[in-house]
Amino acid sequence: MTISHLKQEKNYRYYTDSKSTSEITRNTLVLILAGGSGSRLKGLTKWRAKPAVPFGAKYRIIDFALSNCVNSGLRRIGVLTQYKAHSLIRHLQRAWGFMRTEIGEFVEIIPAQQRLDNDWYRGTADALYQNIDIIRRHAPDNVMVLGGDHIYTMDYSKMLMDHANSGADLTVGCIEVPRKDASEYGVMSVDENMRITRFTEKPQDPEAMPGKADSSLASTGIYIFSTEYLFQSLIADAENPESTHDFGKDIIPSSLCQCSARAYAFENELGQPAYWRDVGTVDSYWEANMELCEVEPELNLYSRDWPIWTYQTQHPPAKFVFDDDGARGEAIDSLVAGGCILSGAKVKRSVIFFGTEIERGSVIKDSVILPKVNIGENCRITRTVIDKACIIPDNTVIGENLQDDKKRFHVTENGVILVTPEMMHQYLHIVDKAKVATDEMVRDKAGPDSTDEKPKLAV
């Protein structure tokens, strides 16, 4: 279909429009919780925080929350870090250092630093409590609290306006989810005015929505507080010895009888549940990446009206070479980032991150290949997530015999395989170099049958 002249004019511009700040967005401080360990992602978070996990061929998970802020006109942002934050902090410095603090715009990194006592962050609420002095210094009218580990696009300014117009002390973003999956979330009940009447964190038997027996109303982890009520709640929670100092388990449930708490439904233009994904497990992470390979995915990464900002790696365009029978460089229904070279290899329904090389005769299907992976000749990879910088030897087969795969890799209940450098005996993160060298010698003496490939040291 030929596009309109109006759309062509917009595409021709060398800049992207985003929402201008308003009085209400200027007086709102955004705090993104990015300190969680993300243990359900297994090896993907062994050396990085969950918000720093790569997603969608070129992004990091946290880029979506940050892009939503910028595109919504919210430009006073603090990112609270704790768990294995080096990769995350490095990304924030590279990708999000373009704000000008002189005019009150910033993405500020707030590390765990024991500001009030000798404890690290004991929960999401405690993370804010330990930084109350920093929040006070900004003197916001409202504080928006976000998780840094979800994939979605949302105009936060609409939720902020709803919060201000309602006069609520607390507004919780929510979305309709299948009831069978709702036990993974905070589940709420609301009255006809969207006032929250009950909130339960990860219930075993989630409550159904009125008139929808198979659906529940789940929290998206997006909260807006009036600043004074937030301070009162955090101080009271810190003084409660029985609290776990968590928003979902403690702050939100206790607020229902103390303040005006409302729910804000996250919906698309048709009034249906909008795209929102919790990529907290290997299965959900793989599935969310695979959804991007659809002809018209729900998550549109190509919108000039709502761009996803990130650090742009300096790589040449992706390259597809050779046109021989059985060794043709091609990609079908896939995302392939810059710097990739497919040398007579076939990629189908897969997401290939930047700087990856796939050699002659290899076939990659339904897989997510993270940056700077090298896949040798005549490999067959199916339904697999391969972590950054793995070297896959020639003739490797993954995803065709799960029993064999379980001996070497992590295999999920749904049959998705996760491969990390350590599983391939490739040590990118060396703590004891002497021990690694000794382990290599032991494997060498055991003979070639002890492993498919001699371990490689990467310093």
For the segment 409-458, what is each residue's pLDDT rounded down to a tens digit?
Answer: 999 999 999 999 999 999 888 776 666 666 666 665 655 444 444 333 33
pLDDT recorded at residue 6: 78
pLDDT recorded at residue 437: 61
pLDDT tens-digit readout, 109-128: 999 998 888 889 999 999 99
My answer on whether 246 and 110 are in the same domain is yes
My answer on whether 276 and 184 are in the same domain is yes
My answer on whether 32 and 175 are in the same domain is yes
296 in any annotated domain:
no
My answer on whether 25 and 93 are in the same domain is yes
Mean pLDDT, rounded, for 199-224: 92
Provide the pairing of β-strand 327-328 with 351-352. Answer: unpaired
My answer on whether 100 and 129 are in the same domain is yes
313 in any annotated domain:
no
Average model confidence (pLDDT) across the chain: 92
My answer on whether 100 and 227 are in the same domain is yes
113 in any annotated domain:
yes
154 in any annotated domain:
yes
Q: Check which CATH number belongs to the domain holding 209 and give it.
A: 3.90.550.10
My answer on whether 173 and 68 are in the same domain is yes
My answer on whether 128 and 222 are in the same domain is yes
pLDDT recorded at residue 116: 83
My answer on whether 441 and 384 are in the same domain is no
pLDDT recorded at residue 450: 46
pLDDT tens-digit readout, 180-198: 999 989 999 999 899 999 9
pLDDT tens-digit readout, 306-361: 999 999 889 999 999 999 988 999 999 999 999 999 999 999 999 999 999 999 99
**How many structural domains comprise the chain?**
3
Tell me what percent of the residues of the chain surpass a pLDDT of 90. 79
My answer on whether 239 and 138 are in the same domain is yes
My answer on whether 401 and 433 are in the same domain is no
402 in any annotated domain:
yes
Mean pLDDT, rounded, for 259-279: 95
44 in any annotated domain:
yes
Q: Is residue 301 predicted with pLDDT exceeding 70?
A: yes
My answer on whether 376 and 439 are in the same domain is no
99 in any annotated domain:
yes
Q: Which domain holds residue 324?
A: 319-423
Q: Is residue 171 predicted with pLDDT exceeding 80?
A: yes
* Dihedral sign from CA coordinates of 190, 173, 288, 401: negative
Q: Is residue 175 predicted with pLDDT exceeding 50?
A: yes
- Which residues, in sequence order, are CB contacts of 329 under 8 Å at separation 6+? 319, 320, 321, 322, 323, 342, 343, 344, 345, 346
Q: Check which CATH number belongs to the domain holding 411 and give it.
A: 2.160.10.10
Residue 247 pLDDT grade (very low, low, confident, very high; cuts 50, 70, 90): very high
pLDDT tens-digit readout, 11-60: 777 777 778 888 999 999 999 999 988 999 999 999 999 999 999 999 99
pLDDT recorded at residue 433: 63
pLDDT tens-digit readout, 50-85: 999 999 999 999 999 999 999 999 999 999 999 999
